[in-house]
Structure 1
Amino acid sequence: MTTDDRPAGDPTRQPVPASVVARVDAADTTLSNPKTAVIALGGNLGNRLEILQSAVDALEDTPGVRVKAVSPVYETEPWGVPAGSQPNYLNAVILVRTTLPPDGLLERGHAIEEAFHRVRDQRWGPRTVDVDIVAYQGVRSDDPVLTLPHPRAHERAFVLVPWHDIEPSAELPGHGPVAELLAAVADQVVVRRADLELRLPE
Protein backbone atom coordinates (compact mmCIF):
# COMPACT_ATOMS: atom_id res chain seq x y z
CA MET A 1 0.00 0.00 0.00
CA THR A 2 1.02 3.60 -0.40
CA THR A 3 1.92 6.02 2.38
CA ASP A 4 -1.61 6.85 3.52
CA ASP A 5 -2.88 3.28 3.00
CA ARG A 6 -5.08 4.32 0.11
CA PRO A 7 -4.71 2.65 -3.30
CA ALA A 8 -2.65 4.53 -5.86
CA GLY A 9 -5.74 5.05 -8.02
CA ASP A 10 -7.82 6.46 -5.18
CA PRO A 11 -8.73 10.10 -5.97
CA THR A 12 -8.43 10.99 -2.27
CA ARG A 13 -4.73 10.19 -2.23
CA GLN A 14 -2.29 12.99 -1.57
CA PRO A 15 -1.73 14.73 -4.93
CA VAL A 16 1.58 14.58 -6.72
CA PRO A 17 3.45 17.88 -6.21
CA ALA A 18 3.73 20.18 -9.20
CA SER A 19 7.50 19.75 -9.20
CA VAL A 20 7.20 16.23 -10.58
CA VAL A 21 4.90 17.07 -13.48
CA ALA A 22 6.48 16.43 -16.86
CA ARG A 23 8.37 19.30 -18.45
CA VAL A 24 6.88 20.76 -21.62
CA ASP A 25 7.60 19.03 -24.90
CA ALA A 26 9.47 22.08 -26.18
CA ALA A 27 12.58 20.45 -24.71
CA ASP A 28 12.25 17.78 -27.41
CA THR A 29 13.28 20.31 -30.05
CA THR A 30 16.89 19.49 -29.11
CA LEU A 31 16.34 15.87 -30.18
CA SER A 32 15.55 14.32 -33.56
CA ASN A 33 12.74 11.73 -33.58
CA PRO A 34 13.04 10.89 -29.87
CA LYS A 35 11.47 7.86 -28.22
CA THR A 36 9.97 7.66 -24.73
CA ALA A 37 11.48 5.33 -22.14
CA VAL A 38 10.51 4.53 -18.56
CA ILE A 39 13.41 4.07 -16.14
CA ALA A 40 13.20 2.80 -12.56
CA LEU A 41 15.80 3.96 -10.05
CA GLY A 42 16.52 2.46 -6.66
CA GLY A 43 19.24 2.07 -4.07
CA ASN A 44 19.75 1.13 -0.45
CA LEU A 45 23.41 1.97 0.26
CA GLY A 46 25.14 5.27 0.93
CA ASN A 47 23.32 8.60 0.70
CA ARG A 48 20.36 7.11 -1.13
CA LEU A 49 18.63 10.35 -2.16
CA GLU A 50 21.85 12.02 -3.28
CA ILE A 51 22.81 9.02 -5.39
CA LEU A 52 19.37 8.84 -7.04
CA GLN A 53 19.54 12.55 -7.82
CA SER A 54 23.01 12.09 -9.29
CA ALA A 55 21.66 9.31 -11.50
CA VAL A 56 18.86 11.58 -12.74
CA ASP A 57 21.36 14.35 -13.44
CA ALA A 58 23.74 11.96 -15.21
CA LEU A 59 20.97 10.77 -17.50
CA GLU A 60 20.05 14.37 -18.31
CA ASP A 61 23.71 15.08 -19.10
CA THR A 62 23.80 12.19 -21.57
CA PRO A 63 23.80 13.30 -25.23
CA GLY A 64 20.51 12.23 -26.77
CA VAL A 65 18.61 11.99 -23.48
CA ARG A 66 16.20 14.43 -21.85
CA VAL A 67 14.56 13.72 -18.51
CA LYS A 68 10.89 14.67 -18.88
CA ALA A 69 9.33 13.70 -15.54
CA VAL A 70 10.47 12.57 -12.11
CA SER A 71 8.20 10.73 -9.69
CA PRO A 72 7.85 11.17 -5.95
CA VAL A 73 10.31 9.17 -3.84
CA TYR A 74 9.13 5.97 -2.17
CA GLU A 75 10.74 3.84 0.52
CA THR A 76 10.40 0.08 0.27
CA GLU A 77 11.68 -3.03 1.97
CA PRO A 78 14.26 -5.06 0.02
CA TRP A 79 12.83 -7.52 -2.47
CA GLY A 80 13.50 -11.25 -2.24
CA VAL A 81 15.56 -11.29 0.98
CA PRO A 82 14.75 -11.96 4.66
CA ALA A 83 13.16 -9.05 6.50
CA GLY A 84 15.71 -6.84 8.25
CA SER A 85 18.70 -8.29 6.39
CA GLN A 86 19.30 -5.11 4.34
CA PRO A 87 18.55 -1.39 4.59
CA ASN A 88 15.35 -0.15 2.97
CA TYR A 89 15.41 1.16 -0.57
CA LEU A 90 14.51 4.52 -1.97
CA ASN A 91 12.78 4.14 -5.33
CA ALA A 92 11.58 6.44 -8.07
CA VAL A 93 10.60 6.31 -11.73
CA ILE A 94 11.52 8.79 -14.43
CA LEU A 95 10.36 9.33 -18.00
CA VAL A 96 12.95 10.22 -20.60
CA ARG A 97 12.88 11.16 -24.27
CA THR A 98 15.87 9.76 -26.09
CA THR A 99 17.46 9.21 -29.46
CA LEU A 100 19.58 6.40 -28.05
CA PRO A 101 18.51 2.87 -29.00
CA PRO A 102 17.53 0.58 -26.11
CA ASP A 103 20.98 -1.01 -25.90
CA GLY A 104 22.65 2.40 -25.89
CA LEU A 105 20.40 3.55 -23.06
CA LEU A 106 21.18 0.33 -21.18
CA GLU A 107 24.90 0.93 -21.64
CA ARG A 108 24.53 4.42 -20.19
CA GLY A 109 22.56 3.06 -17.24
CA HIS A 110 25.28 0.51 -16.51
CA ALA A 111 27.94 3.23 -16.70
CA ILE A 112 26.04 5.24 -14.09
CA GLU A 113 25.76 2.19 -11.85
CA GLU A 114 29.48 1.55 -12.17
CA ALA A 115 30.26 5.17 -11.34
CA PHE A 116 28.59 4.59 -7.98
CA HIS A 117 30.34 1.23 -7.48
CA ARG A 118 27.28 -0.92 -7.99
CA VAL A 119 28.26 -4.51 -7.12
CA ARG A 120 26.61 -7.47 -8.88
CA ASP A 121 28.07 -10.42 -6.95
CA GLN A 122 24.81 -11.38 -5.21
CA ARG A 123 21.27 -11.68 -6.57
CA TRP A 124 18.96 -9.36 -4.64
CA GLY A 125 22.07 -8.02 -2.90
CA PRO A 126 22.29 -4.45 -1.60
CA ARG A 127 23.34 -1.82 -4.09
CA THR A 128 24.10 1.86 -4.33
CA VAL A 129 21.90 2.32 -7.39
CA ASP A 130 19.87 0.39 -9.94
CA VAL A 131 19.10 1.98 -13.29
CA ASP A 132 16.54 -0.32 -14.94
CA ILE A 133 14.77 0.26 -18.24
CA VAL A 134 11.15 -0.68 -17.60
CA ALA A 135 9.77 0.07 -21.07
CA TYR A 136 10.94 1.68 -24.30
CA GLN A 137 8.13 3.07 -26.50
CA GLY A 138 6.36 -0.23 -27.06
CA VAL A 139 9.49 -2.21 -27.98
CA ARG A 140 9.21 -5.94 -27.23
CA SER A 141 12.40 -7.94 -26.84
CA ASP A 142 13.28 -11.36 -25.41
CA ASP A 143 17.01 -10.64 -25.46
CA PRO A 144 18.34 -11.86 -22.09
CA VAL A 145 20.70 -8.87 -21.95
CA LEU A 146 17.77 -6.44 -22.17
CA THR A 147 14.28 -7.91 -21.99
CA LEU A 148 11.60 -5.35 -22.82
CA PRO A 149 9.39 -4.55 -21.16
CA HIS A 150 11.10 -5.43 -17.89
CA PRO A 151 9.90 -9.00 -17.16
CA ARG A 152 9.04 -8.36 -13.51
CA ALA A 153 7.81 -4.76 -13.60
CA HIS A 154 4.16 -5.85 -13.44
CA GLU A 155 4.85 -7.57 -10.11
CA ARG A 156 6.50 -4.65 -8.34
CA ALA A 157 4.65 -1.90 -6.57
CA PHE A 158 7.85 0.13 -6.25
CA VAL A 159 7.80 0.44 -10.05
CA LEU A 160 4.08 0.65 -10.74
CA VAL A 161 3.11 3.16 -8.04
CA PRO A 162 5.63 5.90 -8.92
CA TRP A 163 5.13 5.27 -12.64
CA HIS A 164 1.37 5.76 -12.22
CA ASP A 165 2.04 9.00 -10.32
CA ILE A 166 3.70 10.63 -13.33
CA GLU A 167 1.84 8.84 -16.13
CA PRO A 168 -1.65 7.77 -14.95
CA SER A 169 -2.64 6.56 -18.43
CA ALA A 170 0.50 4.46 -18.93
CA GLU A 171 0.33 0.90 -20.23
CA LEU A 172 2.89 -1.84 -19.70
CA PRO A 173 3.16 -3.70 -23.02
CA GLY A 174 1.85 -7.22 -22.70
CA HIS A 175 0.23 -6.58 -19.32
CA GLY A 176 -2.18 -3.69 -19.74
CA PRO A 177 -2.83 -0.35 -18.02
CA VAL A 178 -0.61 0.40 -15.05
CA ALA A 179 -3.67 1.69 -13.18
CA GLU A 180 -5.21 -1.80 -13.38
CA LEU A 181 -1.99 -3.61 -12.48
CA LEU A 182 -1.83 -1.74 -9.16
CA ALA A 183 -4.61 -3.91 -7.72
CA ALA A 184 -2.43 -7.03 -7.96
CA VAL A 185 0.37 -5.43 -5.89
CA ALA A 186 -1.82 -3.69 -3.30
CA ASP A 187 -0.39 -5.88 -0.53
CA GLN A 188 3.16 -4.58 -1.14
CA VAL A 189 4.09 -1.70 1.15
CA VAL A 190 5.53 1.33 -0.62
CA VAL A 191 5.82 4.41 1.57
CA ARG A 192 5.80 7.79 -0.08
CA ARG A 193 8.51 9.98 1.44
CA ALA A 194 6.96 13.44 1.32
CA ASP A 195 10.08 14.78 3.07
CA LEU A 196 12.32 13.70 0.17
CA GLU A 197 12.19 14.96 -3.39
CA LEU A 198 14.14 14.47 -6.59
CA ARG A 199 14.65 17.57 -8.72
CA LEU A 200 13.77 17.65 -12.38
CA PRO A 201 16.95 18.82 -14.13
CA GLU A 202 16.75 22.34 -15.53
Structure 2
Amino acid sequence: MTGAKSDHVAAYIGLGSNLDGPRAHVTRALHELAALPLTYLAEHSSLYASAPVGPQDQPDFINAVACVFTRLSPLALLDQLQALEQRHRRVRQRHWGPRTLDLDLLLYANLEWQTPRLTLPHPAMRERAFVLIPLAEFAPQVTIAGKTSATLAKHHDGADLHRLLP
Protein backbone atom coordinates (compact mmCIF):
# COMPACT_ATOMS: atom_id res chain seq x y z
CA MET A 1 0.00 0.00 0.00
CA THR A 2 1.23 3.44 -0.78
CA GLY A 3 0.52 6.58 1.16
CA ALA A 4 0.61 5.01 4.62
CA LYS A 5 1.70 7.30 7.41
CA SER A 6 4.46 5.79 9.54
CA ASP A 7 2.32 5.80 12.69
CA HIS A 8 -0.57 3.95 11.05
CA VAL A 9 -0.94 0.22 10.41
CA ALA A 10 -2.87 -1.47 7.62
CA ALA A 11 -6.00 -3.34 8.64
CA TYR A 12 -8.29 -5.29 6.33
CA ILE A 13 -12.01 -5.44 6.98
CA GLY A 14 -14.62 -7.75 5.45
CA LEU A 15 -18.05 -6.21 4.90
CA GLY A 16 -21.31 -8.07 4.32
CA SER A 17 -25.04 -7.47 4.34
CA ASN A 18 -28.15 -9.35 3.23
CA LEU A 19 -31.03 -7.37 4.74
CA ASP A 20 -32.83 -4.06 4.13
CA GLY A 21 -31.00 -2.94 0.99
CA PRO A 22 -27.70 -4.76 1.43
CA ARG A 23 -25.88 -2.94 -1.37
CA ALA A 24 -26.70 0.39 0.26
CA HIS A 25 -25.55 -0.85 3.70
CA VAL A 26 -22.17 -2.00 2.35
CA THR A 27 -21.67 1.14 0.26
CA ARG A 28 -22.54 3.41 3.18
CA ALA A 29 -20.31 1.40 5.53
CA LEU A 30 -17.35 1.87 3.18
CA HIS A 31 -17.81 5.64 3.48
CA GLU A 32 -18.26 5.37 7.25
CA LEU A 33 -14.99 3.44 7.62
CA ALA A 34 -13.25 6.54 6.28
CA ALA A 35 -14.73 8.55 9.15
CA LEU A 36 -13.56 6.31 12.01
CA PRO A 37 -11.27 8.09 14.48
CA LEU A 38 -7.52 7.90 13.81
CA THR A 39 -8.30 5.91 10.66
CA TYR A 40 -8.55 6.49 6.95
CA LEU A 41 -9.82 4.35 4.12
CA ALA A 42 -7.05 3.44 1.67
CA GLU A 43 -8.69 1.05 -0.81
CA HIS A 44 -11.58 -1.35 -1.24
CA SER A 45 -12.72 -4.07 -3.56
CA SER A 46 -15.68 -4.14 -5.86
CA LEU A 47 -18.97 -5.34 -4.43
CA TYR A 48 -19.77 -9.04 -4.80
CA ALA A 49 -22.95 -11.08 -4.41
CA SER A 50 -22.53 -14.42 -2.64
CA ALA A 51 -24.62 -17.24 -1.30
CA PRO A 52 -24.93 -17.28 2.50
CA VAL A 53 -22.60 -19.37 4.66
CA GLY A 54 -24.55 -21.58 7.02
CA PRO A 55 -28.36 -21.52 6.91
CA GLN A 56 -29.58 -21.19 3.34
CA ASP A 57 -33.04 -19.88 4.28
CA GLN A 58 -31.90 -16.27 3.90
CA PRO A 59 -31.11 -13.86 1.06
CA ASP A 60 -27.76 -13.75 -0.70
CA PHE A 61 -25.12 -11.39 0.67
CA ILE A 62 -23.41 -8.34 -0.75
CA ASN A 63 -19.72 -8.43 0.26
CA ALA A 64 -16.59 -6.32 -0.07
CA VAL A 65 -13.18 -6.00 1.55
CA ALA A 66 -11.56 -2.72 2.55
CA CYS A 67 -8.11 -1.64 3.68
CA VAL A 68 -7.85 1.09 6.26
CA PHE A 69 -4.80 2.64 7.85
CA THR A 70 -5.32 3.20 11.54
CA ARG A 71 -3.66 4.26 14.76
CA LEU A 72 -6.31 2.39 16.76
CA SER A 73 -5.35 -0.80 18.55
CA PRO A 74 -6.96 -4.01 17.26
CA LEU A 75 -9.54 -4.05 20.07
CA ALA A 76 -10.29 -0.34 19.72
CA LEU A 77 -10.81 -0.86 15.99
CA LEU A 78 -13.07 -3.84 16.71
CA ASP A 79 -15.09 -1.64 19.09
CA GLN A 80 -15.50 0.97 16.35
CA LEU A 81 -16.57 -1.71 13.83
CA GLN A 82 -19.15 -3.13 16.23
CA ALA A 83 -20.49 0.37 16.94
CA LEU A 84 -20.83 0.89 13.18
CA GLU A 85 -22.76 -2.40 12.93
CA GLN A 86 -25.10 -1.14 15.65
CA ARG A 87 -25.70 2.12 13.77
CA HIS A 88 -26.89 -0.11 10.92
CA ARG A 89 -29.31 -1.83 13.35
CA ARG A 90 -27.41 -5.13 13.41
CA VAL A 91 -29.30 -7.80 15.36
CA ARG A 92 -27.62 -11.12 16.20
CA GLN A 93 -30.53 -13.58 16.14
CA ARG A 94 -28.62 -16.73 15.18
CA HIS A 95 -25.13 -17.82 14.19
CA TRP A 96 -24.51 -17.13 10.49
CA GLY A 97 -27.98 -15.61 10.24
CA PRO A 98 -29.16 -12.66 8.17
CA ARG A 99 -27.87 -9.21 9.07
CA THR A 100 -28.01 -5.59 7.99
CA LEU A 101 -24.24 -5.23 8.34
CA ASP A 102 -21.41 -7.54 9.32
CA LEU A 103 -17.89 -6.14 9.71
CA ASP A 104 -15.04 -8.59 10.32
CA LEU A 105 -11.54 -7.49 11.20
CA LEU A 106 -9.59 -9.85 8.95
CA LEU A 107 -5.99 -8.71 9.30
CA TYR A 108 -4.21 -6.11 11.40
CA ALA A 109 -0.69 -5.49 10.09
CA ASN A 110 1.09 -8.84 10.39
CA LEU A 111 -0.28 -9.47 13.86
CA GLU A 112 -1.06 -13.01 14.94
CA TRP A 113 -3.19 -12.69 18.03
CA GLN A 114 -5.87 -14.54 19.94
CA THR A 115 -8.08 -13.21 22.72
CA PRO A 116 -11.61 -14.19 23.77
CA ARG A 117 -12.95 -11.31 21.60
CA LEU A 118 -10.66 -11.36 18.59
CA THR A 119 -8.46 -13.74 16.63
CA LEU A 120 -6.09 -12.38 13.99
CA PRO A 121 -5.82 -13.26 11.22
CA HIS A 122 -9.54 -14.01 11.07
CA PRO A 123 -9.69 -17.79 11.58
CA ALA A 124 -12.09 -18.57 8.71
CA MET A 125 -10.88 -16.16 6.05
CA ARG A 126 -8.77 -18.77 4.20
CA GLU A 127 -11.92 -20.80 3.48
CA ARG A 128 -14.09 -17.91 2.29
CA ALA A 129 -14.13 -17.00 -1.38
CA PHE A 130 -16.22 -13.92 -0.55
CA VAL A 131 -13.22 -12.62 1.43
CA LEU A 132 -10.24 -13.90 -0.55
CA ILE A 133 -11.38 -13.01 -4.06
CA PRO A 134 -12.26 -9.38 -3.20
CA LEU A 135 -9.05 -9.06 -1.15
CA ALA A 136 -6.93 -10.42 -4.01
CA GLU A 137 -8.63 -7.98 -6.39
CA PHE A 138 -6.83 -4.99 -4.85
CA ALA A 139 -4.21 -6.50 -2.52
CA PRO A 140 -2.90 -9.68 -4.19
CA GLN A 141 0.41 -9.64 -2.28
CA VAL A 142 -1.06 -9.48 1.23
CA THR A 143 0.07 -12.58 3.10
CA ILE A 144 -2.04 -14.82 5.29
CA ALA A 145 -0.20 -17.64 7.05
CA GLY A 146 2.69 -17.35 4.60
CA LYS A 147 0.61 -17.38 1.40
CA THR A 148 -0.54 -14.43 -0.66
CA SER A 149 -4.21 -13.60 -0.99
CA ALA A 150 -3.87 -14.19 -4.75
CA THR A 151 -2.56 -17.71 -4.18
CA LEU A 152 -5.27 -18.51 -1.64
CA ALA A 153 -7.99 -17.05 -3.90
CA LYS A 154 -6.96 -19.42 -6.72
CA HIS A 155 -8.05 -22.35 -4.53
CA HIS A 156 -11.65 -21.10 -4.68
CA ASP A 157 -13.63 -21.38 -7.89
CA GLY A 158 -15.87 -18.47 -6.88
CA ALA A 159 -18.89 -20.24 -8.38
CA ASP A 160 -21.17 -18.75 -5.70
CA LEU A 161 -19.56 -15.31 -5.99
CA HIS A 162 -20.49 -12.70 -8.60
CA ARG A 163 -18.80 -9.33 -9.02
CA LEU A 164 -21.36 -6.55 -9.26
CA LEU A 165 -21.15 -3.72 -11.74
CA PRO A 166 -20.79 -0.23 -10.24
Give TM-score scaled by structure 2 length. Answer: 0.94
The 5-angstrom pairing of residues 46-195 of structure 1 reads: 46-82=20-56, 85-172=57-144, 174-186=145-157, 188-194=159-165
Q: Which position in structure 2 is the counterpart of 1:9? A: none
Runs of 4+ more than 2 Å apart: none
Aligned length: 166
Which consecutive residues of structure 1, in runs of 5 or more, have no partner in the other structure? 1-21, 197-202
CA contact (8 A) 1:64 1:99 kept: yes
1:62-107 C-alpha deviation (Å, 9 max, x unpaired): 121100001111000111123xx11110000000000000001100
Task: Report deviation, 1:184.
Answer: 2.6
* Aligned-pair identity (%): 34
SS of the residue 1:184 aligns to = coil
CA contact (8 A) 2:54 2:97 kept: no
Residue type matched to 1:161 in 2?
I
Residue type matched to 2:96 in 1?
W
Over 3 Å counting, the alpha-carbon distance change for 1:74 and 1:187 in structure 2 is closer
CA contact (8 A) 2:9 2:69 kept: yes
Which consecutive residues of structure 2, in runs of 5 or more, have no partner in the other structure? none
Task: Report deviation, 1:164.
Answer: 0.3
Give TM-score scaled by structure 1 length. Answer: 0.78
Structure 1 or 2: larger strand share? 2
Which has more radius of gyration? 1
